[in-house]
Amino acid sequence: MTQEISLAILEILRETYGQVEPGLHYKNQYQLLISVVLSAQTTDKQVNTVTPVLFQEYPDFKSLAQAEITDIETIIRSTGFYRNKAKNIVMLSGIIISKYNGKVPDTLEDLTFLPGVGRKSAQVVRAFGFGIPAIPVDTHVMRVSKRIGYTTSTNPVEVERALAGIISEEDWIESHVLFITHGRSICLSRKPSCDRCPIYCYCDFVNNNP
């Protein structure tokens, strides 16, 4: 993958999908962080069905830190793994109150210190909560990146580095959302719609599976 081809791919994806937005609904850094933790092993759409109730009952870290875990479990049950998620968001709320003065930290080290927050989740918070250039690598970004030819690795950190080495820093956040959008709409996991793909001519997957 060259920078020239990458620029062409991104331009086509922009023309295809227009201005893209993250799938999670949130109004502030608190809501973003909690939503990201809840999004593990489920869809953004499913998270968005439970967070309005959750944030109405618990509008900030202080109230969530004082919540009964069983009450949280009831609200978020449909997101799956709800027991661990409920415990994590209550625990991380307490940590943010006690260690970070009630504010979401913005470094990878501090964010990944929080229960339920891995590197991808931390990068999502940094990108969309703070506007810090980052390319979070989820399953869609991983799949699209490999098929197009940015990388052959299955290691998320290596994929992130490969993308960051080719894509301009100013385009990192947008590229993340474009790849997710493309992965959800056309470059599907099991049956990609290659006949409808606007970037098929650049795709290693197509060229290697004629």
Which residues touch 138 (CB under 8 Å, ≥6 apart)? 120, 180
Exactly one of 60, 106, 110, 138 is catalytic; name it: 138
Per-position pLDDT tens, the chain of length 210: 889 999 999 999 999 999 898 899 999 999 999 999 999 989 999 999 999 999 999 999 999 999 999 999 999 999 999 999 999 999 999 999 999 999 999 999 999 999 999 999 999 999 999 999 999 999 999 999 999 999 999 999 999 999 999 999 999 999 999 999 999 999 999 889 999 999 988 887 766 654
Per the structure block, which two tokens stand in for 197? Answer: 């793909």
For the question of residue 71 being annotated catalytic, the response is no
Q: Model's pTM, two decimal places?
A: 0.90
Per the structure block, which two tokens stand in for 12? Answer: 């086509």
For the chain, domains (ranges, CATH) are 3-21+135-208 (1.10.1670.10), 29-130 (1.10.340.30)
For the question of residue 120 being annotated catalytic, the response is yes
Let me know: does 138 contact 120? Beta carbons within 8 Å. yes
